[in-house]
C-alpha cells in the first residue's frame, strides 16, 4: 500500500478516533512484515503485512485494520475495527470490546471471547422498492424545497447558472472537474494535518452542497421546457423529472455512471463560473477570427 | 471552435493548414521529449561513458547554445521578412529536419567525448533554428481563436504517443524509430518546399497570405506588444518559472528508480496508459480554459496544479520518513497523473502563447525569446541547480521541498500581482478612493 493509497483510510481512522474521543497523538502504524506485538500504543493501525497478538500476550488499546492482516491469538483489551484487509480471532483469544467489520474479511472463532461482534451493512438501493421510493421522495423534497424557494425569491440566480449549463457546457465541465478534484485532494490533505480537520469536513460538505445546487439548476432547466406556467411548480416538476432521469442512468452499467458524473461536474462548474449565479458567465472574446 | 465550421463548409485549404501545423509540431515535440531529453542521457552515460553529472552539463550547454542560435534566427527572420514568407519557412524547416535526420542516424555510433560535444553543437543549431521557424508557422496556418485548441491537440497527441508506446529509454531504440518516422516527413517537406505544380502552388499561395488575417495575435489587438514591454516580459518570466519548476522536479524524479519504475517507466502498460490519458485530459482542459478565460486564469491553474502535485509528492515522502517501513513500496499512479495534467497545462499554453503575443513583424523574435528564455534558459538553470543539489547530497524530500516551495511562491506571487494590478487600475480610474 503506497502512502497515497493509505492516506484516505488513515484519515477515516483519524476521524473515527476523534469522534470516539480517543487520542490520535499516541498512534502506531505497521505497513509490512510479520510483527508480534506484546504491547500497544493507545491506537494501532495495521496498513500492511501481518500483525499478531501472540497467544500468551495481553495488550491494551484499539486496533484498526486498513490493509494486511491482524491475527488475534491472545487478549486485546479494547476494540478491533476492520476497514480493509483481514482479521482473525482464533480459539481462546479474547477481545474485551467490539470486533467491528466495515469491509474486508473477518474470521471470528466461536470459541473466542468477544464483547460484541458487529457487521456494517451498506444500504443497498435495490433492497426493496419501498426503500427506493422513500429515498427518491426524500431527495425530491430537499431539492424541490430549495428549488421552489430560490426560483420564487431569486430567479436570476437560476437563470445565470442555467445559461452557463446550456450555453457553455464544455467550459463548465472542465472547470467543474478541475475544481472538484483539486478541492477534494486539498481537503483530504488538510484533514491529514489534524489541525485543519474541521475545516476539511466543512469544505467537503460545501462541495456536496454545490453539487446539489447544480442538480437543482438542471431541474429548473427541465422545468422551463415543460408546459407549466407557474415557475415554482415547473421547477418542482423539472426536479422530479431530473431525479428520475438520474435514477434511470443508474440502471445503465458504466455509461450511466459516466453520465451521472458528467452532470455533477457540469453543474459544479456552472455554479462556480457564475459565482453561484450572481453573474452571467461570458467567455473572453478572441479577436482575429475568420 | 472555428475548425468545425471550416470542415462543414469544406474549406479544405484552411483545414490542411491546421493539419500541417499540428503534424509538424507533434513530430518536433515528440522528438524533443524523447530523443533529445531522454536519448541524450543514455547516449552520454552508456555509449560515451560520461558520468550523469557530465551529461547534465553537456545538456545545459545544449540549452544555452540553442537559446543563442534561436535568438539570432528569430531576429534574422523578422528583419529579412522570412517570418511572412511561407515557402522560406518551409525550406528552413526542411534543412533543420535533414540535419536532425543525419544527427539521429549517427547518434548510436558516437563513442568519444569530442564527437559527443560536436553532436551537441550541431543539435543545438538544428533546435535553435527549428523552433522559431516552426512556431512562426502558426501565423500562416492557425486562426487566432483556435490556437488554444490546436495547442491542446499537439500536446495531447505528442504526450500520448510518448507515454503509451512502450519504448525503452535507449538512444538506439529512439534512433531507429525516429529515422523511420522522419524519412517520410522529409519527403513531404521537400515537396512542400521545392515542388511546383498547380494545386500545391494554389494551396501554398492561399496559406501564404493568411498572416494578413491570422498574423496579429490574441493579445496584440488592443496593445502594442514589444519584446521589452511588460505585456511580453511578464508572461516570459511566468513561463520561465513554470519550466524551471517542472525541470527541477522532474530531473530528480527520473533519477529516483522507485518513483520512475512506478510511473513513466513502469513495466505495467496500464500505468503508462493511465498517465498518457491524464496528459490528454490535461491538454483538453488547458485548451478549453485558454480559449474561454483570460491569460492570468490559465497561469493560476498551472501554478495551482504544480503546487498541488508537489504537495502530494512531498506528503508521501514525509509519511515515508515517519514510517520507514513504507519506503520502497512505490507510489500511487495518482501523483504522476496529476503531474502529467500540470505538464500538459503549461505545454498547451506554451504552444499557443508566443504566436498570440506576436504580429507578423515580431513572431520570429518573440517565439525565439519566449521559448528560448522560458524553455531553454530555464532548463539550463534548473539543470545547474539540480547538479548543485546533487553535489550537496540533498535528499529527495529536501529537493522536492524546494520545488514545492517555489511553486507555492509563484502561485502566491501571481495572485498578489493580479490583485495589486487591479488596485492600480482602480486607483487610476477613480483618482483616489470613492465613498
Report which of residues B84 and A43 the model is more confident about: B84
Interface residues of A toward B, Cβ cutoff 8 Å, are 1-7, 29-33, 47-49, 168, 170-171, 174-175, 177-178, 182, 185-186, 189, 192, 283-284, 286-290
Please write the tens of the pLDDT for every residue from A140-175. 999 999 999 999 998 999 999 999 999 999 999 999
Cβ contacts of A165-168, under 8 Å, gap ≥ 24: A165/A214, A165/A217, A165/A218, A165/A221, A165/A266, A165/A267, A165/A270, A166/A221, A168/A270, A168/A273, A168/A281, A168/A283, A168/B292
- Residue B268's pLDDT is 79
Q: Do B218 and A288 touch (CB under 8 A)?
A: yes
Give me B2's grid cell.
Answer: 472555428
Query: What's the gap in Å between the CA of B15 and the closest CA on chain A?
Result: 13
Report which of residues B386 and A290 the model is more confident about: B386
Please write the tens of the pLDDT for every residue from A53-99. 888 888 888 888 888 888 998 888 888 888 888 888 888 888 888 88
Of B205, B158, B143, nearest in space to B7 by CA: B143
Average pLDDT over residues B75-84: 92
Query: What's the gap in Å between the CA of A143 and the closest CA on chain B?
Result: 30
- Residue B255's pLDDT is 77
SS3 content of chain B, % helix, strand, coil (to 5): 85, 0, 15
Q: What percent of chain B has pLDDT over 70?
A: 96
CATH 3.40.50.300 fits B2-430, yes or no: no
Please write the tens of the pLDDT for every residue from B333-381. 788 898 999 999 999 999 999 999 999 999 999 999 999 998 888 887 8
Report which of residues B37 and A199 the model is more confident about: A199
Tell me how far apart the 2 most distant CA atoms of chain B are, in Å: 76
Closest residue on chain A to B306 (Cα): A182
Q: Judge whether B285 and B346 are in contact, CB under 8 Å.
A: no
Q: Which of A3, A175, A283 sits opposite B326 (nearest CB)?
A: A3
Which of A131-140, B2-11, B128-137 bottoms out in mean pLDDT, i.e. has the lowest? A131-140
Query: What's the gap in Å between the CA of B142 and the closest CA on chain A?
Result: 10
pLDDT of B145 above 80 = yes
The domain locations on chain B are: 2-430
Q: What average pLDDT does chain A have?
A: 85
Average pLDDT over residues A242-262: 90
Query: What's the gap in Å between the CA of A162 and the closest CA on chain B?
Result: 18
Phi, psi (rounded to 5 degrees) for A71: -110, 115
Q: What average pLDDT does chain B have?
A: 87
pLDDT of A124 above 60 = no
Q: Do A288 and B217 touch (CB under 8 A)?
A: yes
- Residue B16's pLDDT is 93
- Residue B147's pLDDT is 93
Average pLDDT over residues B182-192: 92
- Residue A286's pLDDT is 85
Q: Judge whether B150 and B284 are in contact, CB under 8 Å.
A: no
Question: How many whole angstroms separate alpha carbon A93 and alpha carbon A201?
Answer: 38
Average pLDDT over residues A29-36: 79
Cβ contacts of B358-361, under 8 Å, gap ≥ 24: B358/B136, B358/B139, B358/B217, B358/B220, B358/B225, B359/B215, B359/B216, B359/B217, B359/B220, B359/B225, B360/B83, B360/B84, B360/B139, B360/B211, B360/B212, B360/B215, B360/B216, B361/B78, B361/B83, B361/B84
Give me B111's grid cell.
Answer: 563513442
Please write the tens of the pLDDT for every residue from B248-295. 888 888 778 777 777 777 777 888 889 999 999 999 999 999 999 988
pLDDT of B432 above 60 = no
Q: Which of A2, A171, A182 sits opposite B292 (nearest CB)?
A: A171
Q: Which of B291, B325, B335 sits opposite A30 (nearest CB)?
A: B325
Q: Which of B285, B304, B330 sits opposite A2 (nearest CB)?
A: B330
Q: Do B329 and A170 touch (CB under 8 A)?
A: no
Average pLDDT over residues A183-190: 83
Q: Which of B217, B288, B316 sits opposite A170 (nearest CB)?
A: B288
Tell me the pLDDT band of B106, cut-offs 50, 70 and 90: very high
Average pLDDT over residues B160-180: 84
Average pLDDT over residues B101-112: 91
Question: How many whole angstroms separate alpha carbon B283 and alpha carbon B341?
Answer: 7
Q: Do B291 and A177 touch (CB under 8 A)?
A: no
Q: Do B288 and A289 touch (CB under 8 A)?
A: no
Please write the tens of the pLDDT for every residue from B212-256. 888 888 888 878 888 888 889 999 999 999 999 888 888 888 778
pLDDT of B332 above 80 = no
Q: Do A289 and B2 touch (CB under 8 A)?
A: yes
Q: Do A6 and B326 touch (CB under 8 A)?
A: yes
Q: Which of B213, B285, B330 sits opposite A290 (nearest CB)?
A: B213
Tell me the pLDDT band of B384, cut-offs 50, 70 and 90: confident
Please write the tens of the pLDDT for every residue from B287-329. 999 999 988 888 888 888 888 888 888 888 877 776 665 555 5
Number of H helices, E strands in chain B: 19, 0
Q: Which residues on A lie below 8 Å from B306 (Cβ)?
A: none
Average pLDDT over residues B5-30: 92
Query: Phi-psi bin for A254: left (phi > 0), alpha (psi -120 to 50), beta?
Result: left
Closest residue on chain B to A35 (Cα): B325
| Beta-carbon pairs below 8 A across chains A and B | 97
Q: Do A3 and B332 touch (CB under 8 A)?
A: yes
Q: Which of B217, B221, B319 sits opposite A3 (nearest CB)?
A: B319
- Residue A125's pLDDT is 54
Please write the tens of the pLDDT for every residue from B26-46. 999 998 888 887 788 888 888
b/e map B361-396, b = 16+ CB within 10 Å: bbbbbbbbbbbbbbbbbbbbbbbebbbebbeeebeb
Amino acid at each position: 500500500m503506497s502512502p497515497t493509497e493509505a492516506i484516505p483510510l488513515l484519515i477515516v481512522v483519524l476521524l473515527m478516533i476523534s469522534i470516539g474521543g480517543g487520542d490520535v497523538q499516541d498512534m502506531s502504524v505497521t505497513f509490512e512484515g510479520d510483527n508480534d506485538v506484546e504491547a500497544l500504543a493507545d491506537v494501532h493501525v495495521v496498513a500492511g503485512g501481518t500483525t499478531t497478538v501472540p497467544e500468551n500476550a495481553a495488550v491494551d488499546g484499539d486496533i484498526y485494520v486498513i490493509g494486511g492482516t491482524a491475527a488475534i491469538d491472545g487478549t486485546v483489551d479494547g476494540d478491533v475495527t476492520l476497514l480493509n484487509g483481514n482479521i482473525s480471532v482464533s480459539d481462546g483469544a479474547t477481545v474485551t470490546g467490539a470486533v467491528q467489520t466495515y469491509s474486508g474479511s473477518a474470521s471470528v472463532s466461536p470459541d473466542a471471547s468477544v464483547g460484541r461482534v458487529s457487521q456494517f451493512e451498506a444500504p443497498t438501493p435495490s433492497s426493496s422498492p419501498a426503500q427506493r421510493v422513500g429515498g427518491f421522495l426524500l431527495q425530491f423534497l430537499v431539492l424541490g424545497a430549495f428549488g421552489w424557494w430560490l426560483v420564487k425569491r431569486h430567479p436570476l440566480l437560476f437563470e445565470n447558472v442555467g445559461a452557463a449549463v446550456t450555453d457553455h457546457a464544455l467550459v463548465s465541465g472542465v472547470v467543474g472537474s478541475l475544481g472538484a478534484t483539486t478541492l477534494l485532494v486539498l481537503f483530504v490533505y488538510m484533514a491529514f494535518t489534524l489541525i485543519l480537520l474541521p475545516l476539511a469536513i466543512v469544505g467537503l460538505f460545501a462541495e456536496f452542497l454545490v453539487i446539489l445546487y447544480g442538480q437543482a439548476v438542471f431541474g429548473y432547466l427541465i422545468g422551463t421546457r415543460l408546459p407549466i406556467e407557474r415557475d415554482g411548480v415547473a421547477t418542482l416538476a423539472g426536479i422530479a423529472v431530473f431525479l428520475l432521469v438520474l435514477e434511470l442512468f443508474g440502471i445503465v452499467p458504466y455509461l450511466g455512471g459516466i453520465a451521472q458524473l458528467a452532470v455533477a461536474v457540469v453543474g459544479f462548474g456552472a455554479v462556480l463560473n457564475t459565482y453561484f449565479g450572481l453573474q452571467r458567465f461570458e467567455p473572453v472574446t478572441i479577436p482575429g477570427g475568420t | 471552435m472555428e475548425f468545425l465550421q471550416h470542415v462543414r463548409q469544406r474549406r479544405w485549404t484552411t483545414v490542411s493548414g491546421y493539419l500541417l501545423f499540428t503534424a509538424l509540431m507533434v513530430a518536433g515535440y515528440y522528438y524533443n521529449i524523447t530523443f533529445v531529453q531522454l536519448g541524450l542521457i543514455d547516449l552520454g552515460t552508456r555509449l560515451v561513458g560520461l558520468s550523469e553529472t557530465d551529461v547534465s552539463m553537456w545538456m545545459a550547454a545544449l540549452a544555452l547554445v540553442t537559446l543563442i542560435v534561436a535568438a539570432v534566427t528569430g531576429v534574422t527572420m523578422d528583419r529579412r521578412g522570412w517570418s511572412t514568407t511561407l515557402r522560406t519557412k518551409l525550406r528552413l524547416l526542411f534543412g533543420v529536419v535533414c540535419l536532425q535526420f543525419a544527427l539521429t542516424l549517427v547518434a548510436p555510433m558516437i563513442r568519444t567525448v569530442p564527437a559527443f560535444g560536436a553532436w551537441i553543437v550541431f543539435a543545438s543549431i538544428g533546435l535553435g533554428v527549428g523552433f522559431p521557424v516552426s512556431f512562426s508557422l502558426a501565423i500562416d496556418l492557425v486562426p487566432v481563436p483556435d490556437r488554444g485548441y490546436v495547442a491542446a491537440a499537439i500536446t495531447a497527441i505528442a504526450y500520448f504517443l510518448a507515454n503509451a508506446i512502450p519504448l525503452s529509454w535507449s538512444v538506439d531504440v529512439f534512433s531507429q524509430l525516429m529515422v523511420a518516422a522522419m524519412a517520410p516527413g522529409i519527403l513531404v517537406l521537400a515537396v512542400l518546399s521545392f515542388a511546383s505544380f498547380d494545386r500545391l502552388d494554389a494551396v501554398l499561395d492561399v496559406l501564404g497570405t493568411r498572416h494578413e488575417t491570422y498574423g496579429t495575435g490574441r493579445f496584440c489587438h488592443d496593445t502594442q506588444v514589444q519584446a521589452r514591454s511588460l505585456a511580453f516580459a511578464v508572461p516570459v518570466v511566468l513561463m520561465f518559472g513554470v519550466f524551471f519548476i517542472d525541470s527541477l522536479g522532474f530531473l530528480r524524479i527520473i533519477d529516483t528508480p522507485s518513483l520512475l519504475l512506478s510511473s513513466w517507466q513502469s513495466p505495467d502498460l496500464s500505468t503508462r496508459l493511465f498517465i498518457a490519458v491524464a496528459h490528454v485530459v490535461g491538454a483538453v482542459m488547458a485548451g478549453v480554459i485558454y480559449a474561454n478565460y483570460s491569460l492570468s486564469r490559465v497561469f493560476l491553474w498551472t501554478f495551482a496544479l504544480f503546487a498541488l502535485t508537489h504537495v502530494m509528492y512531498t506528503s508521501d515522502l514525509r509519511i515515508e520518513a515517519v514510517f520507514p517501513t513504507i519506503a520502497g513500496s512505490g507510489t500511487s499512479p495518482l501523483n504522476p497523473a496529476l503531474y502529467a495534467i500540470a505538464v500538459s497545462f503549461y505545454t498547451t499554453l506554451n504552444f499557443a502563447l508566443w504566436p498570440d503575443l506576436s504580429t507578423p513583424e515580431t513572431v520570429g523574435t518573440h517565439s525565439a525569446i519566449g521559448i528560448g528564455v522560458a524553455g531553454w534558459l530555464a532548463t539550463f538553470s534548473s539543470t545547474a541547480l539540480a547538479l548543485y543539489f546533487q553535489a550537496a547530497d540533498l535528499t529527495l524530500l529536501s529537493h522536492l521541498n524546494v520545488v514545492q516551495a517555489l511553486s507555492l511562491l509563484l502561485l502566491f506571487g501571481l495572485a498578489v500581482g493580479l490583485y495589486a494590478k487591479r488596485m492600480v487600475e482602480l486607483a487610476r480610474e477613480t483618482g483616489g478612493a470613492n465613498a
